[in-house]
Amino acid sequence: MTLNTWKKITEPDSLILILSSAFLLRLIIIPLLYDDFNYWAFGVVTSFLTAGNNPYHIVINDPTLLYINPWRYPPLYLALTAPALLAKTLTGSTLVYLAALKIPLAISDIIAAFYIFKILILKFPRNTALGFTALYAFNPLVIFESAGGGFNDPIPIALTVISFYYFSISKGSRGTLCKTNLSKSAFFLGLGIATKIYPLLLLPVFLREVRGPALRLTYAFLAFLPVTILSTPFLIWDFASYTSLLAIRNVQGQHPLFPLAGLSGIVGPLGISLVALILLWTYLKNLKLTTRLVLVFLWVNIAIFAQSLNYMLWGVPFFTIFVAENRKLYGISLSAGITYAVALVFQGSYNGVSGTTGIYYWSYHLLHQQIVVFREFPFSTTDPLILSTGGLVASVILNAYYFLRVARVKTTIPPPDTSPAESMNRVTSKKLPKGKLVLPILLLALVITSWSAVITSSSFEDHHYPIVEGSSFQFKDNFRSTRIDYQWVFQGGGNYSINAAQGNIDVSDATNSTGYIFRGWADVIDGFHQSDSWTINFLFRFESFLSGRNGMVLANMTDGILLVLRNQTTTYFSYSDQVNNGSIQFSQADNNWHNFTEQYSQGRRTVRIDSTSQTITGGKISKLIFGDFNSGGRFGGRAQYSAVTVLINDFPVGQPSANSILFGLVLPLLSLSAAYAFLAWNHRIPIRRWVHHRPKVAIGVLNKPRSEA
């Protein structure tokens, strides 16, 4: 090992230090914060694909999956999550699954930060570019929404930033155009669109800057090529299901891509029209390119009521570049990180849906351990909150440290005739301080501590959400723990208890004592939705009535109500048919355990108590409630429930088909690779031509108004 190599290792360049430190900081956060809803949604949909089934067909034919909106992601993201699901299948570890999903997101953040630096170095001194790169790399919102929340946005964001970089260097100082860089910009933008539809908003912005109808058509064609290639197998597979997703709505009546369309009356169309006019004005107005990009994401964030902070991530890279370009706004640059930190802590991501706000929601995954995959969190209740908050504070401190540290050093801007590659290599001023390894070593130690604590001190358990098992989704809860599982929500002032040893839940005579089973968030009652075939099964035991009561609702299943009633001569079980307004009397009631089953198939229900059954037409399943949901009074007695099982059928069956996997997963990726290889081969001659006649890069020429350019 030479002396120069050793110096590069022990005293890395500031850019290397910033990027490596930012990556290590994300690795600390990855195992500590967790959003099980997203991981389950992505895992379920991807499991359809890896099992040889069409996920878009499954969603369109069973509204059960509509609440989670997983279908709004184009096919490329399904392919990107498939390796994580495969790793989980091979290892049986949910921790491996989460790591395989999250680490690529952290890497994407670092790639985006690197290309932000490459964009800034085109027009600013190196110290300024480093400072604003640190501003993005240590932005607490970016860290906690990717490494913490695990949202998939960093991948298409990185692809979009790369597209912006190649677009920025596609035009030379004398108006010459490098078509290779323009093609790369279009392709990376297309990859972003194939991962998430959001980057499509930037296509009109870039097309406006391209001169000539032929080039514009070429750019648009290349931008749509990836998503077209990846979507073709699904269009052939089931054209109607795939295209109908553009019009389908979730169970809340909203279209996840166009939430304004779900507003009542004329408000929705007016809102969409207003946003369309504002976007049109932004596209046509003579603005700087970066300014236009920032405004596009700003308007769209407002238009979609972005309650989830991951949608705010899209504007952060362009906001960082925008602040760097407007030197009078340098004071905002540092406050931006603090502002996002405050927003992250004190603004609930889904406050409009869950009814929770503030730090309570932000720490929801930590304080409510039943929502986290850890059965026993490796720390006390407050320690995760302290550790995660400490990580957030550290990100702000690192942000300020790097920004101020490199900003004090004076460097010169590269000469106007310097190419982007040369500017990065030549303008490495000796005045810039070299980074020390103290910080990365400290962060690496915290990474080891964080992951070791999770692996060794936690009982890591998989989700209790339904999983693909045989020919159905199955939900089953045997009350393995003394704490309330998150599929159960109890409302009102009633008394309830869980007997973990016997696997029972007791609902006793008290006001509004009701037990809900649901799949989804804590405020979603109707977690089970209509399906072609389903089965409800549970054990129940009636104990006693309250004094003066002659009836008690044991279970409410929307289409029917299971009751226990008594008259002057007998006490009996009854089923009230809510669809046909009928009533079925079953056997005489006693204090023994009984088995209740309700099966639905082909428009008919079969209701069974023990060996007595009755067939009824019609029905649906939207909730299963133990107790009287509508009583508004006392429960009416005491009952016990156990061995609850809900099967929702018509889902993927059998083992994965090799042909289906090849057709739905491998073939699109191979087709895309072939398209890129053809593009590279097609540009061999232009590349050679531009090597001999390399255009000079006009610093910031694309970001100046036409009057200045």
Q: CA 696, CA 709: separation in Å to the nearest integer?
A: 15
pLDDT digits (tens, 9 = 90+) for 76-99: 877 777 777 777 777 767 677 778
Confidence check: pLDDT of 223 > 80 = yes
Q: CA 35, CA 41: separation in Å to the nearest integer?
A: 10
**Residues contacting residue 691 through CB under 8 Å, at least 6 positions apart:** none
Which helix (H) or strand (E) segment holds residue 540: the answer is: strand 533-545
Confidence check: pLDDT of 190 > 80 = yes
What is the tally of helices (H) and strands (E) in the chain? 26, 16
- In the block, residue with structure tokens 């502002």: 339
- 119 band by pLDDT with thresholds 50, 70 and 90: very high
Q: CA 475, CA 466: separation in Å to the nearest integer?
A: 5
In a 13 Å sphere around the CA of 362, the CA atoms on its Cβ side amount to 19
pLDDT digits (tens, 9 = 90+) for 126-183: 888 888 888 788 877 787 778 877 778 899 999 999 999 999 988 765 566 788 888 8
Residues 98 and 89: beta-carbon distance below 8 Å: no
- Residue 497, Cα to own-chain centre: how many angstroms? 35
To the nearest whole number, what is the mean pLDDT of the chain?
Answer: 64
3-class secondary structure per residue, 634-679: ECCEEEEEEEEEEEEECCCCCCCCHHHHHHHHHHHHHHHHHHHHHH
Confidence check: pLDDT of 273 > 80 = no
Residues 315 and 270: beta-carbon distance below 8 Å: no
CB atoms within 10 A of CB 85: 22
pLDDT score, position 160: 94
Greater confidence, 49 or 74?
74
Which helix (H) or strand (E) segment holds residue 11: the answer is: none
By CB atoms closer than 10 A (0-12, 13-18, 19+), residue 369 is: middle
pLDDT score, position 668: 52
Q: CA 37, CA 371: separation in Å to the nearest integer?
A: 9
What is the third-level CATH fold of 472-649? Jelly Rolls (2.60.120)
Confidence check: pLDDT of 661 > 60 = no
pLDDT score, position 706: 39
Q: CA 153, CA 117: separation in Å to the nearest integer?
A: 20
Confidence check: pLDDT of 698 > 60 = no
Q: CA 316, CA 336: separation in Å to the nearest integer?
A: 9
pTM beyond 0.75: no
Confidence check: pLDDT of 241 > 60 = yes
Which helix (H) or strand (E) segment holds residue 438: the answer is: helix 438-457
Greater confidence, 688 or 210?
210
pLDDT score, position 704: 45
Residues 392 and 345: beta-carbon distance below 8 Å: yes
Q: CA 558, CA 579: separation in Å to the nearest integer?
A: 9
Confidence check: pLDDT of 672 > 90 = no
Greater confidence, 565 or 297?
565
pLDDT score, position 461: 40
Going by C-alpha positions, the residue among 48, 50, 54 that lies closest to residue 238 is 54
Residues 411 and 126: beta-carbon distance below 8 Å: yes
Q: Which two tokens stand for residue 431?
A: 């005045």
pLDDT score, position 292: 83
pLDDT score, position 646: 65
pLDDT score, position 605: 87
Report domain extents, the chain.
15-460+657-703, 472-649
| Highest mean pLDDT out of 93-102, 426-435, 639-648 | 93-102
Ranking 107-111, 249-253, 537-541, 612-616 by mean pLDDT, the lowest is 249-253
Confidence check: pLDDT of 212 > 50 = yes
Q: Which two tokens stand for residue 708?
A: 């200045």
| Helix-helix angle 667-682:684-692, to 10 degrees | 40
Confidence check: pLDDT of 19 > 80 = yes
Q: CA 170, CA 167: separation in Å to the nearest integer?
A: 5
